[in-house]
Amino acid sequence: MNEHIAKAKAISKQFDIEILQCLGFSEATPAGVQCACPIHGGDNPTAFCYDAEKKIWSCFTKQCQKKYGNDMIGLIRSMLDCDFNSAVNWIHENIGVREDVDVSSIYNSSSIDEYLSHGKKKNDVIPESKLNNLKKIDGKPLDLLKSKNFDEDVFKFFEAGYCDSDKIIHQRIMIPIRSKESEIVGFTGRSIWDQNPKTGGFYPENFTPSEGYEKIFSKWRMYPKNFNKSIELYNIHKAKDYIKETNKCFIVEGAFDVWSMWTAGFKNSVATMGTSLTKQQCQMLVESGCVKLYLVYDSDDAGRIASQKIKEKYSDMFEISTIVLPDGKDPSDLTVEELQIETRKML
């Protein structure tokens, strides 16, 4: 993470009471403060609360924390109505550049462990030997990847193989999903078949699924069946060093989109394997040093709605921008040159 930003974030946690007093909360104590909300100018003496233990603030009357987030930087932005960088500069100018701040504290969080301990299943580690069960990509699977402008070096680099077993994942290009620690925790599989226009399923023209089961032949399918994608980010194990180096991350929907972004030179790219971005996934990004998010979702209604929701929900954690691709396109629909042009002109 950029040292200037990292120190500001650490200072905002360690010297929060000093910041409150500097913002005009003269009654702030080591426990925090409760008063009328100065942001919307209310007169309810208990409407605003800052909890010094949890390091968060709330406005119970107008929910003022929703605009910029409920951490200290969000409070500064709300009080001064400024952007993220201005809030960071304000901290350095008003509190000072502290040499003794513990920068590592901004990376430390138990939120993922807490999330898993409250009934959410942690994904099991899958033996590396499972990769040996996949066949070499050739024939129709190879034609599909070539139609996406992927050469052999790309899908070998991302460890993709072909599965033709009699299970539900048969006739799919299978791509391993690795945890942040590089352990295989699942697979995502792309059907090699085109969509049946009558049923919406992806299967051969000469195949007729049982009535009511057409939709289970989806374009993408996860393995194993109980895989919890909400606590993983595809490609985080490869992207984390580039995220730390740049403080930026490109968020896309699927594995092929990551391949396209990587090939185009944007190696700090991960996929949510859908349009939802969870708090646990965000925490992984924070711990990787991410400050700026670029959303590169599909340019359809679902992608646009998802991007807007992410902006509204996580603007307290990141600076968020949307990269709008040509209508109806996703990153894997574009050539390397097109993707570079469309992405860079939005940066």
Residue 136, token pair as written in the block = 């070499």
pTM of the model: 0.68
| Contact residues for 260 (Cβ-Cβ < 8 A; gap 6+) | 148, 149, 331, 332, 334, 336, 339
Amino acid at 237: H
User: Do 250 and 296 meet the contact criterion of CB atoms below 8 Å apart?
Assistant: yes
Residue 278 CA from chain centroid, whole number: 7
Residue 300, token pair as written in the block = 């359809």
Q: Residue 117's pLDDT band (boundaries 50, 70, 90)?
A: very low
- Specify which residues 202 forms β-bridges with: 195
Residue 113 CA from chain centroid, whole number: 18
C-alpha to C-alpha distance for 8 and 97, rounded to whole angstroms: 8
**Which H or E element spans position 162?**
strand 161-163
The mean per-residue pLDDT over the stretch 326-332 comes to 86
Model confidence pLDDT, tens digit, residues 85-96: 888 888 888 876
Model confidence pLDDT, tens digit, residues 167-216: 667 899 999 999 999 999 999 999 999 888 877 888 887 777 777 666 66
**pLDDT exceeds 60 at position 159:** yes
**Of 163 and 345, more confident:** 163
Model confidence pLDDT, tens digit, residues 263-299: 999 999 999 998 889 888 998 998 898 999 999 998 8
Q: Chain-wide mean pLDDT for the chain?
A: 86
pLDDT, position 101: 59
Domains present along the chain, CATH in parentheses:
3-108 (3.90.580), 128-223 (no CATH), 231-344 (3.40.1360.10)
Is the C-alpha dihedral spanning 111, 117, 121, 125 positive or negative? positive
